[in-house]
Each structure stands twice: as C-alpha cells, then as structure tokens.
Amino acid sequence: MTRHWPLALSIILALCASSCLALQSGDSAPAFKLSDQFGKTWELAKLRDNVVVVVAANRDSGEMMAPWIDRLKPKYLGKIQLLGLMELKGIPGIFRGMARSRIKKETQDPLMIDFDGATGKAYEVSSKYPVVVVIDKTGAIRAIEKTYSKDAFKSITEAIDKALGG
C-alpha cells in the first residue's frame, strides 16, 4: 500500500501543476514586455488604466486570429488596447528580421512577437486556436476564450463592456 504513495502523489502534483498554472478569470494577467513588428515595445505594467485584450496564437493558429481582431477592432476602436501576440519560438536569430518584415506586410495592427516562447506559454498559446484574454484596468483577467464562436464572442464583449464600466 505504501509503495503506491509516490505514484499517487506524482499524479496529484501533475494535476495541480496543470490547473494551478492555468489562466483563470480574476487572477492577475501574466506580465509581458514584447516588441511588435514595428519595433514598438508593449509592456502590460505600462498599460494599466486601460482595458487590454490580447489575442494570442502561434504559427499554426495565427490565421485564426483574424475573426477576433476584425470584429473587436471596429467595435472598440479607441476604447481598448487590442494587441495580437504571436509566439514564434524556435525561429533562429538570423531569420527573425525576415519574420518581422513578413508580419509588417500582413497587418498594420500591433502584433507582439514572442521569440523565446515564455509569454506565449504564460498565455497558454495553442496550435489549435487563438487564446483571447480580457484584462481590466487593474491588470486582472476578466475573461478567457479558447474557441471562436458566437457565444465566445459574446462572452468576450460582455467582459470588455463590464471592464469599461458599461
């Protein structure tokens, strides 16, 4: 009986680690300081007093960012800070300039680039879908969506409206 304790403890710790690290509404948003494709540095700490919406993806899920950004941008233009986050971990330094140039050609919207993957990991970037995180003026997470649907969009817009005081 006692020799099963290490296995049981390992399973419990693994489950706790995955759920304890998960983004949750009400928690402080993970800090970031990243440059976008134009070289502008974005830092969450300096965006306090703003409602921030991060749409995070990687190379595989990046194409699915557009429905979120295309619908949120006109609805909240000038009211929120809408930021894309593209995790490009594994791109060698020599090719990073080319990646920035390609992104510049594809979008004029700010897209923070995460070459080391740390911020992408903190925001739970997936290759299957973009992750959308609403951060209120105090830096707390107010909503997280990992799919794009009518209900998910409604959930995000309700959280944004509430964070804006509406």
- Averages of pLDDT over runs of 10 residues in the chain (166 residues) are 55 49 91 97 96 97 94 96 96 93 94 97 96 97 95 97 92
What residue spans define the domains of the chain?
Answer: 24-163
Cα atoms in the Cβ-side hemisphere of radius 13 Å centred on 98: 5
Query: Using CA atoms, how far apart are residues 19 and 162, in angstroms rounded to an integer?
Result: 26
CB 31 within 8 A of CB 44: yes
Taking the alpha carbons of 137, 141, 143, 147 in that order, is the dihedral positive or negative? positive
Taking the alpha carbons of 152, 132, 99, 119 in that order, is the dihedral positive or negative? negative
Residue type, 121: K
Residue 22: predicted pLDDT: 87
- Please give the CATH topology (third level) of the domain spanning 24-163: Glutaredoxin (3.40.30)
Q: How many CB atoms lie within 10 A of CB 66?
A: 16
Which stretches of 49-141 are DSSP H helices?
66-76, 93-106, 118-122
**CA–CA distances in Å: residue 45 to residues 33, 39, 96:** 9, 18, 26
Q: Can you give the pTM of this predicted structure?
A: 0.85
> Both ends of the chain: CA-CA distance in Å?
57
Calculate Rg over the CA atoms of the chain.
Answer: 17
Residue 16: predicted pLDDT: 47
Query: Using CA atoms, how far apart are residues 150 and 157, in angstroms rounded to an integer?
Result: 11
